[in-house]
Structure 1
């Protein structure tokens, strides 16, 4: 494993460096805002003592909300992406900042304050020259803890498409690439330790009181201010520079979606003058991407017909491809989006059972499974249990009642099945690991699961502004079979190949990419 981690880190150093830069940017913004807002809040409640308890109670309450829940609460208001991630990080960073500032300012020896007042100092002078300097060690300790925690927590930002090293962690889990997950986790830890070390140096220097030290501190502050100013100037220059129009492509947290996202990026950037901003692995899949498409946060994403029918259009009646025209018309009229570029493969759901369990009970079909379901455990990714065409509808159709259910990430299902943590699980028919799994695929003898042909959903406004996109996306019609997709997934999940390389190679084989 260490050798694999090192090789991957060297081979994809540019990619990891980019993610680390995104990670630091998100963390730095949240830390800076939390220092200002939390510091001011702590200062105010140290003076208005009646407001201290309710303020700390509110901040404490916000801190107890699980990070996934916090993101879910914020998405309806601020959408997916960087803004929501930064807001969530700021909220979590406020508690240690407010508490340390309040504690530092209120735990100063009262005799010192009384002596200052007796010498004629104003409250403002006491705050600037006595309270804040004496409280600084406690405040700096809070800042160090808050900064370390924020950098670690920023990994969750990738769940809503905000970037950072969480992308490597989450993609590694999804694609069965443990080296990628470990590299991402290690880099997060290194960033946190480096920031903690730097803040420790700052803390120690701030406590030095000699004239020479104060002079050195002022010089250091000037250098830091100059560096920050230079970075801001560079950022402004880049933002003001003319750039190509950008198409924002999103994908779900699935191996094949990573591959298709990179196919779209390669083709669009080759055949047009457009730039592609690719956001891979948006947590929650359709439930988060579809609203983001409606609000204009994303322009294109690969979707499945059966999923669109049930989850986006909220239709409970059965779907088959004979109703594709009805599906596309509804998208066009109600959502102002079009389906362009139907890949050709059908990634429908399937049910597999551990081979030992299937042999023991003689299971070959879903109806066979219904006879013994009460003795077995069922596992699936989180959204399957909430889909209109998911767990409850499936159990009702076949009269099943499992002994217990297990929610887990899509990238961990096969490992959990192999380890015997569950007996039955839902799969996708194009899963790369399916052919190598020690499992029996059951027959859907009542045809419960609908068709899930894959195609691209595009906002009509984008097609109107960039009509050249339609020709590019149409090239993808019928280019991928079920077997092709399963093979590409296998290369990523079992052979450890990057989705970018697999996507590029396949397009070249099909003559679509030079």
Structure 2
């Protein structure tokens, strides 16, 4: 495994370097904002002690909110991507900052403060000349803890489409690529430890009390502050290249990674447009579609049945005869369907083979009488879909003994380890062929049709009509067996989605 990780880091160094830079940008921006506001709040509550108790209480309460929940709370207000990640990370970084500043300032020896007052020092002079210098060791300790925590926590930001090393970790989990998961984790840990080491050196230097050391520390502090302010201002007022950039999103599924790479390769080869590809947005349709409405994404691959039930909130079973209604409803939302790939990825149920053989389970109806003794596993959004878990159980009259929420990339592992007995699969899953499981027959035709195509904002298509030619090239080009084969290459043979996408486009004569 270690050899595989090093090989991956060497062969894809540019990929990991880009992620590393993104990780630093997101985490340092959050750190910078937290230092500025944390210092201000810490100073204020130490000077006005009556406000300290409730202020720290509020911050403590916010700190107890799980990071995933915080990201979910923020998405409706700030959308997906880096902005939401920075806001969430800043909120979590504030607690150690405010607490360390408040603790450092309030623990300065009262006798020293009284002596300063007796010598005629003003409140401002006491704060700047006495309290802050004496509290600095405690403040620096808080900064070290906060920086290490923030850099590590930034990895989870990829769940909402932000960049950073979490992209590699999440992609590795989704595509069953342990080497990529480990590589992303190790780089994140190394970055956090390096930051802690460097800040440790700074902390030791700040404990020196010579005039030269104080002067150097002051210069270093001003320099760091200027860098942080410049970074914030630069990111806020950075020129927006959106007119020439197509923002593509994909769900956290292997085939979506492949489709996203295909779109990027074709668009950048045949047009003068650039592509910003955000891979594996957590929550899939639940987060991507609202982001499309807010113009945060321009285009993403979607499935007709999912759009009908999950986006339009229709309760009937979708068939392709209803596609015109689907298209009309999307056009009213300022979006449209274009470039239907030709394959269908519908849901299915599988049961561990030993259970299927033991009880003779072949259909969903057969499963009904044994469901109460079995554990059902599915990805998170399946439990919330109109055509998901509740509707499935109602249709077949099933009640499972237990349910388990699983990341889409961990389902087959959970099945192999017997943590679950029944699970939802996609019919194009690459790992399905090697799984020790039996695919059951949907004898009541519960699951609707799920043809795959692209959803694009109408405004983008009008502004860039050249995209129509690119979608036409892929229309009807991918059969079910093609998608299964490509998914297998990524999930089982651990090949890169971009390499598989490029190879397929070459076989179709769409690229050189």
Does the 8 Å contact 2:318/2:449 carry over to 1? yes
What residue is the counterpart of 2:13 in the other structure? 13
Question: For the residues of structure 1 that align with 2:384 and 2:352, how far apart are their CA atoms?
Answer: 24
Question: For the residues of structure 2 that align with 1:93 and 1:319, how far apart are their CA atoms?
Answer: 46
What residue is the counterpart of 1:331 in the other structure? 330
What residue is the counterpart of 2:312 in the other structure? 313
Question: For the residues of structure 1 that align with 2:231 and 2:106, how far apart are their CA atoms?
Answer: 37
TM-score after normalising by structure 1 = 0.96
What residue is the counterpart of 1:263 in the other structure? 262
What residue is the counterpart of 1:510 in the other structure? 508
What residue is the counterpart of 1:283 in the other structure? 282
What residue is the counterpart of 1:246 in the other structure? 245
Does the 8 Å contact 1:160/1:283 carry over to 2? yes
What residue is the counterpart of 1:388 in the other structure? 386
In structure 2, the gaps of 5 or more residues are none
Does the 8 Å contact 2:253/2:280 carry over to 1? yes
Does the 8 Å contact 2:29/2:228 carry over to 1? no
In structure 1, the gaps of 5 or more residues are none
What residue is the counterpart of 1:486 in the other structure? 484
> Alpha-carbon deviations, 1:455-487, whole Å to 9, x = none?
000000001111111111121111111110011
Q: Matches of residues 123-142 of structure 1 in structure 2 within 5 Å?
A: 123-142=123-142
What residue is the counterpart of 2:155 in the other structure? 155
How far 1:212 sits from its partner (Å)? Answer: 3.3
Does the 8 Å contact 1:244/1:273 carry over to 2? no
How far 1:228 sits from its partner (Å)? Answer: 7.4
Q: Matches of residues 38-57 of structure 1 in structure 2 within 5 Å?
A: 38-57=38-57
Does the 8 Å contact 1:262/1:500 carry over to 2? yes
What residue is the counterpart of 2:293 in the other structure? 294
- Which stretch of structure 1 is more off in the superposition, 3-12 or 425-434? 3-12
What residue is the counterpart of 1:322 in the other structure? 321
Q: Matches of residues 78-227 of structure 1 in structure 2 within 5 Å?
A: 78-217=78-217
What residue is the counterpart of 1:416 in the other structure? 414
What residue is the counterpart of 1:439 in the other structure? 437
Question: For the residues of structure 2 that align with 1:202 and 1:82, how far apart are their CA atoms?
Answer: 29
What residue is the counterpart of 1:63 in the other structure? 63
How far 1:371 sits from its partner (Å)? Answer: 1.9
How far 1:227 sits from its partner (Å)? Answer: 7.4
- Given the alignment of the two structures, is residue 375 of structure 1 paired with residue 373 of structure 2, yes or no? yes
How far 1:47 sits from its partner (Å)? Answer: 1.0
Distance change (3 Å), C-alpha of 1:443 and 1:470: same
How far 1:492 sits from its partner (Å)? Answer: 0.5
Question: For the residues of structure 1 that align with 2:321 and 2:152, how far apart are their CA atoms?
Answer: 49
* SS in structure 2 at match of 1:455: strand
Question: For the residues of structure 1 that align with 2:161 and 2:277, how far apart are their CA atoms?
Answer: 9
How far 1:86 sits from its partner (Å)? Answer: 0.4
How far 1:217 sits from its partner (Å)? Answer: 3.9
What residue is the counterpart of 2:354 in the other structure? 356
* SS in structure 2 at match of 1:426: strand
Distance change (3 Å), C-alpha of 1:30 and 1:420: same
How far 1:214 sits from its partner (Å)? Answer: 3.4
How far 1:195 sits from its partner (Å)? Answer: 0.6
> Alpha-carbon deviations, 1:183-209, whole Å to 9, x = none?
111111111011111111111111211
Q: CA RMSD in A?
A: 1.9
Does the 8 Å contact 1:244/1:275 carry over to 2? no
* SS in structure 1 at match of 2:409: helix
> Alpha-carbon deviations, 1:2-45, whole Å to 9, x = none?
11111111111111111011001101010110011011101000
> Alpha-carbon deviations, 1:229-254, whole Å to 9, x = none?
99899x69x95598970000000000
* SS in structure 1 at match of 2:444: coil
* SS in structure 1 at match of 2:370: helix
What residue is the counterpart of 1:77 in the other structure? 77
Does the 8 Å contact 2:29/2:232 carry over to 1? no
Question: For the residues of structure 2 that align with 1:120 and 1:225, how far apart are their CA atoms?
Answer: 31
Question: For the residues of structure 1 that align with 2:311 and 2:77, how far apart are their CA atoms?
Answer: 19
> Alpha-carbon deviations, 1:392-447, whole Å to 9, x = none?
10011111111111111010000110111111100000000000101101111111
Distance change (3 Å), C-alpha of 1:75 and 1:132: same
Does the 8 Å contact 2:378/2:411 carry over to 1? yes
TM-score after normalising by structure 2 = 0.97
How far 1:498 sits from its partner (Å)? Answer: 0.7
Does the 8 Å contact 2:158/2:164 carry over to 1? yes
How far 1:213 sits from its partner (Å)? Answer: 2.5
Does the 8 Å contact 1:152/1:188 carry over to 2? yes
